[in-house]
């Protein structure tokens, strides 16, 4: 890996590194912000479904296809674009993907028909996987002994982007219209492309395999590394619980108990952003060799959070506290999982991340669907039971994990 002259000159001119991480603090902040802003593209449409259904003269359920199509695009990007992070120079790849994202979001903002909007968001969803290229990029920049902390800080930006996107979309749409939501994001993506192009160090490809071999090797990694599958299944259970909660909590808040407006529901999502605060801590736990015990603890916290949500069905304060705990638990297992898989094969981090995200993304999609089914069949109580069972199943699986002695990384010993 070779750093760009601009980066080196900035370092010489006094750009400080985050203490003990070996990576400039400003670069970590930029990567975190970039991850949050790109992943937010997946969620902007969620609060706008009623508005879009009126704008295009379609039913609300038909408008819901926007969410499905965007998620399908993301899966396509995870499977076919993220592995290119090992095959191509990463700075060029990130720039190209952000350029396509910008154009597709302009298309979404200017859409005159619903199929045009669907196609634009499909492409935007696929290319918004830039966040999943930047995270392993950050892991590669960090020394072994500080990798968890750096990844944790970047991932805190990603989770914040997920949680704040709905709020931002609702507020902007109310003030300026739904088209400005997508056009504004297009401006952000263009600015990100320029900023990352100027700031990121050059990062040479880690493999020269042809593209189809890269895709084949991604599948082979799943067979070769049991830890990849295990961590993916852990996170699938947690992300399913997370998705079930956030898919249905709006029904509770807008229902007869609380009578919240859609804007108020968006503001409620700000509460969950507090869960991002645990990301740097999770990174430190990973660096200290506490991956296994803290994973088990996160499962327990998630289950207890759903129990709290069930008991507090008539208290928005208790539901908010449960939301924070759920988000903290999910964030913790995500950081610990990524720390684990990045150590499996440093030359294949983008492909490992692709497989990891794809595995647990299926859990998230299932959680959204199951959450709606359980809520409409058994109410909020049924939903909270489902949410508590999912991390408990993961906890049972966790008890089968073979304990291994902690091994010191060579660089950590030197540090």
CA atoms lying within 13 Å on the CB side of residue 301: 22
Q: For residue 200, how many other CB atoms are within 10 A of its CB?
A: 24
Q: What is the pLDDT of residues 163-205, one digit of tens each?
A: 788 788 878 888 888 999 999 999 999 999 999 999 988 877 8
Could you tell me if 169 and 46 are in contact, meaning their C-beta atoms sit under 8 angstroms apart?
yes
Q: What is the pLDDT of residue 194?
A: 96
Q: For residue 56, how many other CB atoms are within 10 A of its CB?
A: 16
Angle at 257 between CA 254 and CA 262, to 5 degrees: 15
Q: What is the pLDDT of residue 330?
A: 92
Q: What is the pLDDT of residue 115?
A: 94
Distance CA 75, CA 125 (A): 8
The mean pLDDT value for 212-219 works out to 84
Record: fold of 22-414: Growth Hormone; Chain: A; (1.20.1250)
Categorize the per-residue pLDDT at 10 as very low, low, confident or very high, splitting at 50, 70 and 90.
very low
Categorize the per-residue pLDDT at 349 as very low, low, confident or very high, splitting at 50, 70 and 90.
confident
The mean pLDDT value for 322-344 works out to 92
The mean pLDDT value for 329-344 works out to 91
Torsion of CA 4, 8, 9, 11, to 10 degrees: 140
Please list the helix, strand and coil fractions of the chain in percent, rounded to the nearest 5, in that order. 80, 0, 20
Q: Which residues pair with 24 in a beta bridge?
A: 17
- Helices assigned H by DSSP within 209-257: 211-224, 226-254
Categorize the per-residue pLDDT at 128 as very low, low, confident or very high, splitting at 50, 70 and 90.
very high
User: Which of 192, 169, 217, 198 has its CA nearest to residue 97?
Assistant: 192
At residue 129, does pLDDT exceed 60?
yes
Q: What is the pLDDT of residues 32-42, one digit of tens each?
A: 999 999 999 98
Categorize the per-residue pLDDT at 297 as very low, low, confident or very high, splitting at 50, 70 and 90.
very high
Categorize the per-residue pLDDT at 341 as very low, low, confident or very high, splitting at 50, 70 and 90.
very high
Per mean pLDDT, which range of 17-31, 142-156, 372-386 is the poorest? 17-31
Q: What is the pLDDT of residue 299?
A: 98
The mean pLDDT value for 206-217 works out to 82
User: Which of 189, 45, 195 has its CA nearest to residue 117?
Assistant: 45
At residue 6, does pLDDT exceed 80?
no
List, as one string, the DSSP characters of 317-361. Answer: HHHHHHHHHHHHHHHHHHHHHHHHHHTT-GGGHHHHHHHHHHHHH
Categorize the per-residue pLDDT at 4 as very low, low, confident or very high, splitting at 50, 70 and 90.
very low
Categorize the per-residue pLDDT at 262 as very low, low, confident or very high, splitting at 50, 70 and 90.
low
User: Which of 269, 271, 293 has its CA nearest to residue 282?
Assistant: 293
The mean pLDDT value for 374-396 works out to 95
CA atoms lying within 13 Å on the CB side of residue 218: 26
At residue 55, does pLDDT exceed 50?
yes
Categorize the per-residue pLDDT at 414 as very low, low, confident or very high, splitting at 50, 70 and 90.
very low
Could you tell me if 326 and 242 are in contact, meaning their C-beta atoms sit under 8 angstroms apart?
yes
Q: What is the pLDDT of residue 373?
A: 84
Higher per-residue confidence, 415 vs 157: 157
Q: What is the pLDDT of residue 415?
A: 32
Angle at 18 between CA 194 and CA 301, to 5 degrees: 100
The mean pLDDT value for 90-101 works out to 94
List, as one string, the DSSP characters of 54-117. Answer: HHHT--HHHHTHHHHHHHHHHHHHHHHTTTHHHHS-HHHHHHHHHHHHHHHHHHHHT--SHHHH
Distance CA 179, CA 163 (A): 21
Considering the chain, what is the average pLDDT of its residues? 84
Provide CB contacts within 8 A for 259, sequence distance 6+. none
Q: What is the pLDDT of residue 136?
A: 80
Provide CB contacts within 8 A for 304, sequence distance 6+. 325, 388
Per mean pLDDT, which range of 127-136, 160-169, 302-311 is the poorest? 160-169
Could you tell me if 214 and 207 are in contact, meaning their C-beta atoms sit under 8 angstroms apart?
yes
The mean pLDDT value for 312-329 works out to 92
The mean pLDDT value for 118-142 works out to 88
At residue 392, does pLDDT exceed 90?
yes
Q: What is the pLDDT of residue 18?
A: 52
For residues 231-259, one letter each, b for 16 or more C-beta atoms within 10 angstroms of the residue's C-beta and e for the rest, the string is: bbbbbbbbbbbbbbbbbbbbbbbeeeeee
pTM (predicted TM-score): 0.75
Q: For residue 39, how many other CB atoms are within 10 A of its CB?
A: 22
**CA dihedral for 276, 24, 284, 235, sign (positive or negative):** positive
């Amino acid at each position: 890996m070779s750093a760009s002259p601009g980066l080196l000159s900035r370092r010489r001119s006094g750009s400080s590194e985050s203490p003990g991480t070996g990576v400039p603090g400003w670069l970590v902040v930029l990567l975190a912000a970039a991850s949050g802003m790109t992943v937010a593209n997946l969620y902007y449409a969620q609060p706008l479904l009623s508005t879009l259904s009126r704008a295009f003269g379609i039913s609300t359920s038909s408008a819901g296809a926007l969410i499905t199509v965007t998620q399908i695009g993301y899966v396509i990007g995870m499977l076919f674009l993220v592995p290119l992070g090992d095959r191509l120079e990463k700075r060029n790849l990130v720039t190209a993907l952000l350029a396509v994202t910008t154009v597709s979001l302009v298309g979404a903002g200017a859409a005159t028909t619903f199929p045009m909007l669907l196609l634009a968001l499909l492409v935007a969803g696929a290319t918004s996987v830039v966040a999943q290229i930047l995270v392993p990029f950050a892991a590669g920049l960090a020394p072994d002994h500080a990798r968890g902390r750096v990844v944790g800080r970047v991932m805190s930006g990603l989770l914040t982007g997920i949680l704040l996107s709905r709020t931002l979309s609702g507020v902007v749409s109310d003030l300026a219209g739904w088209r400005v939501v997508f056009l504004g994001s297009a401006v952000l993506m263009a600015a990100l492309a320029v900023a990352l192009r100027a700031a990121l160090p050059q990062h040479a490809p880690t493999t020269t395999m042809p593209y189809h071999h890269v895709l084949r090797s991604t599948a082979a990694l799943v067979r070769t590394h049991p830890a990849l599958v295990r961590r993916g299944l852990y996170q699938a259970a947690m992300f399913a619980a997370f998705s079930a909660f956030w898919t249905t909590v709006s029904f509770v808040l807008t229902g007869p108990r609380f009578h919240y407006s859609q804007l108020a529901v968006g503001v409620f999502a700000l509460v969950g952003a507090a869960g991002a605060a645990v990301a740097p801590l999770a990174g430190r736990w990973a660096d200290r060799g506490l991956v296994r015990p803290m994973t088990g603890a996160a499962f327990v916290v998630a289950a207890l959070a759903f129990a709290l949500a069930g008991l507090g069905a008539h208290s928005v304060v208790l539901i908010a506290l449960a939301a924070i705990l759920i988000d903290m638990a999910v964030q913790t297992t995500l950081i610990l999982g990524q720390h684990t898989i990045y150590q499996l094969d440093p030359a294949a981090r983008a492909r490992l991340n692709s497989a990891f995200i794809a595995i647990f993304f299926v859990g998230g999609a299932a959680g959204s669907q199951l959450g709606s089914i359980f809520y409409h069949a058994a109410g909020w109580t049924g939903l909270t039971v489902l949410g508590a069972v999912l991390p408990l199943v993961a906890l049972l699986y966790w008890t089968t994990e073979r304990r291994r002695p902690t091994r010191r990384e060579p660089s950590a010993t030197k540090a």
